[in-house]
């Protein structure tokens, strides 16, 4: 396999006001690699992914995505990746099929292939029977599955998945990773993901970065991390590295906004 780095990050920082969410991190990911970002809530994983995917501009440092700078050359960078967001990102007023179709058209997937893949993916996440239902009628798990299916619709060079499996049952999780591993193997798609399920990271990722308080505190394969911390599971290694204090997830801003939306009587 070509030893080319498809993601290059050096001295990347992001500050919000006087709070530093990401502090001077550097790492690279090889083309075709499966790379995991692990870290407690609020560690800065999503912030990093947002900078990599043009949604936030870095305060400092540089990024190359498939050779393109997401700041100066956002459009070229956007051609290289697909992303499954941590927060909801579906249009509730469209059907499952229409959400897929919208994505496929935006990403220029040719019509016959689009049809074929949408059908295949909707069957894959077990939503084909519900394809004409509005997304607002879906449960949280169904929405999540649809988002994953959508993220896989175009086959980008890199796919970012921010806690993709949160709230999914083990069957679906398993299923999804199999699909991703197949894409990774057959099409050489680079997989960059975050998760709170350690066994998932250990099984899927070739290399893992552990991030806490905005800095990368350890990086290596699952085996290397275990060896380094003299532990027998990734979970123990993770706890040893990050300590066992519990972190609060930032108060669900989306929930707050949703309630506001209702108050405004949107429908």
Partner 1 sequence: MYIMWLREMKRFLRSKSRIVGALGQPLLYFLSLGYGLGAVFQAAGRGNYIEFLAPGIIGMSIIFTSIFNGMQVIWDRQFGFLKETLVAPVSRLAIMLGRTFGGATVAALQGCLVFIIMIPAGFRPYDWALVVPAILVMFLVATLFSGLGMMVASLLRDMQGFQLIMNFLVMPLFFLSGALFPLQGAPTALQDVAYIDPLSYGIDGMRSLLINTSNYSLGIDVAVLVGIAALFIILGSYFFSKIQV
Ligand X SMILES: Nc1ncnc2c1ncn2[C@@H]1O[C@H](COP(=O)(O)OP(=O)(O)O)[C@@H](O)[C@H]1O
Residue ranges binding Mg ion (CB under 5 A): 45-46, 86
Q: For residues 92 and 224, which CB has a smaller minimum distance to partner 1 in the complex?
A: 92
Q: Looking at the DSSP assignment, which residues form a beta bridge with residue 27? A: 9
Q: For residues 79 and 213, which CB has a smaller minimum distance to Mg ion in the complex?
A: 213
Q: Using the rule CB under 6 A, is 41 a contact of ligand X?
A: yes
Q: Looking at the DSSP assignment, which residues form a beta bridge with residue 25? A: 12
Is residue 97 within 8 A of residue 133, CB to CB? The reply is no
Q: Using the rule CB under 8 A, is 167 a contact of partner 1?
A: no
Q: In whole angstroms, what is the distance from residue 210 CA to residue 188 CA?
A: 24
CA nearest to 98, candidates 148, 150, 142: 150
Q: In whole angstroms, what is the distance from residue 178 CA to residue 85 CA?
A: 20
Is residue 263 within 8 A of residue 226, CB to CB? The reply is no
With CB under 5 to 8 Å by kind, the binding choice for 113 among ligand X, partner 1, Mg ion, none is none
Q: Which stretch binds ligand X (CB under 6 A): 45-53, 62-70, 137-145, 258-266?
A: 45-53
Q: Using the rule CB under 8 A, is 113 a contact of partner 1?
A: no
Q: Using the rule CB under 6 A, is 58 a contact of ligand X?
A: no
Contact letters (x/-) for ligand X, 165-194, by CB under 6 A?
A: ------------------------------
Q: How many residues bind partner 1 (CB under 8 A)?
A: 37
The binder of ligand X chosen from 13, 47, 172, 184 (CB under 6 A): 47
∠ CA 178-183-185, nearest 5°, is: 90
Q: Using the rule CB under 8 A, is 88 a contact of partner 1?
A: yes
Treating both helix axes as pointing N-terminal to C-terminal, what angle do 234-242 and 222-229 enclose, rounded to 10 degrees? 60
Collapsed DSSP state (helix, strand, coil) of residue 81: strand
Is residue 151 within 8 A of residue 159, CB to CB? The reply is yes
The binder of partner 1 chosen from 13, 47, 48, 53 (CB under 8 A): 53
Q: Which stretch binds ligand X (CB under 6 A): 34-42, 146-154, 164-172, 254-262?
A: 34-42
Helix (H) or strand (E) holding 10: strand 5-16
The binder of partner 1 chosen from 31, 55, 142, 241 (CB under 8 A): 55
Q: For residues 6 and 43, which CB has a smaller minimum distance to ligand X in the complex?
A: 43
Pull the structure tokens for residue 202. Answer: 């250990």
Is residue 7 within 8 A of residue 158, CB to CB? The reply is yes
Site residues, ligand X (CB under 6 A): 16, 19, 21, 39, 41-47, 250
Footprint on this chain of partner 1 (rule: CB under 8 A): 50, 53-57, 74-75, 78-79, 81, 83, 85, 87-94, 98, 101-103, 105-108, 254, 257-258, 260-261, 264, 266-267
């Amino acid at each position: 396999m070509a030893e080319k780095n498809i993601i290059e990050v050096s001295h990347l920082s992001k500050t919000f006001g006087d709070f530093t969410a990401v502090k001077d991190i550097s790492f690279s990911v090889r083309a075709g690699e499966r790379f995991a970002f692990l870290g407690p809530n609020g560690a800065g994983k999503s912030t990093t992914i947002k900078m990599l995917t043009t949604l936030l501009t870095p305060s400092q440092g540089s990024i190359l995505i498939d050779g393109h700078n997401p700041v100066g050359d956002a459009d070229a960078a956007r051609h290289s990746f697909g992303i499954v967001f941590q927060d909801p990102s579906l249009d509730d007023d469209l059907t499952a099929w229409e959400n897929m179709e919208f994505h496929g058209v935006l990403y220029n997937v040719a019509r016959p292939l689009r049809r074929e893949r949408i059908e295949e993916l909707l069957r894959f996440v077990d939503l084909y029977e519900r394809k004409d239902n509005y997304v607002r009628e879906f449960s949280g798990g169904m929405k999540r599955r649809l988002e994953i299916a959508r993220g896989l619709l175009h086959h980008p060079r890199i796919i970012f998945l921010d806690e993709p499996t949160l709230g999914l049952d083990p069957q679906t999780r398993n299923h999804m990773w199999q699909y991703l591993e197949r894409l990774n193997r057959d099409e050489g798609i680079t997989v960059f993901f975050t998760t709170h399920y350690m066994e998932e990271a250990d099984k899927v990722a070739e290399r893992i970065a552990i991030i806490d308080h905005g800095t990368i505190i350890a990086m290596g394969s699952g085996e290397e991390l275990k060896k380094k911390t003299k532990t027998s599971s990734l979970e123990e290694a993770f706890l040893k590295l990050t300590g066992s204090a519990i972190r609060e997830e930032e108060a669900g801003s989306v929930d707050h906004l949703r309630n506001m939306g209702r108050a405004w009587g949107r429908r």
